[in-house]
Amino acid sequence: MKTKLQILGTGCPKCQLLTEHAERAAQELGLDYELEKVTEIAKILAFGVVATPALVVDGEIRVFGHVPSTPKLKELLAPQGVQRT
C-alpha cells in the first residue's frame, strides 16, 4: 500500500524544503509513496492547519509550522513507530 504524503503550503521556500526533506526521508526508508502538493488556501484550511508548511501522512497531520530535519522525518514516517511533533 502506498503512503500518501501531502505538503500543505503556498510554495514558499520552507514548503519547498519540507518537500525535499520528506521525499529524501521516504526514499531512504524505501517507502512506496505518492507526493501531493496542496497549495490552495481553501484546501489547506480544510485540514485545520493554521501554520504552514505542513506534512500530512495518509490523511493525518504530522508536522506543521516548521521544517524538521530529514532524520526526524524518517522517525515520523517509519512504519514501526510513528511519532508526532
pLDDT given at position 80: 55
Query: 61 in a domain, yes or no?
Result: yes
Residue 34 resides in a domain: yes
Please report which helix (H) or strand (E) contains residue 41, including its range.
helix 41-46
Examine residue 82 and state whether it is found in any structural domain, yes or no: no
**Three-state secondary structure call for residue 46:** helix
The CATH code of the domain that includes 20 is 3.40.30.10
83 occurs within a structural domain:
no
Full residue range of the structural domain in which residue 24 is found: 3-77
85 residues of the chain, pLDDT tens digit each = 899 999 999 999 999 999 999 999 999 999 999 999 999 999 999 999 989 999 999 999 999 999 999 999 999 998 754 444 4
The catalytic residue positions are 12, 15
The number of distinct structural domains making up the chain is: 1
- Classify residue 12 as left (phi > 0), alpha (psi -120 to 50) or beta: beta
Q: Tell me, yes or no, whether 59 lies in a domain.
A: yes
Is residue 84 in a domain? Answer: no
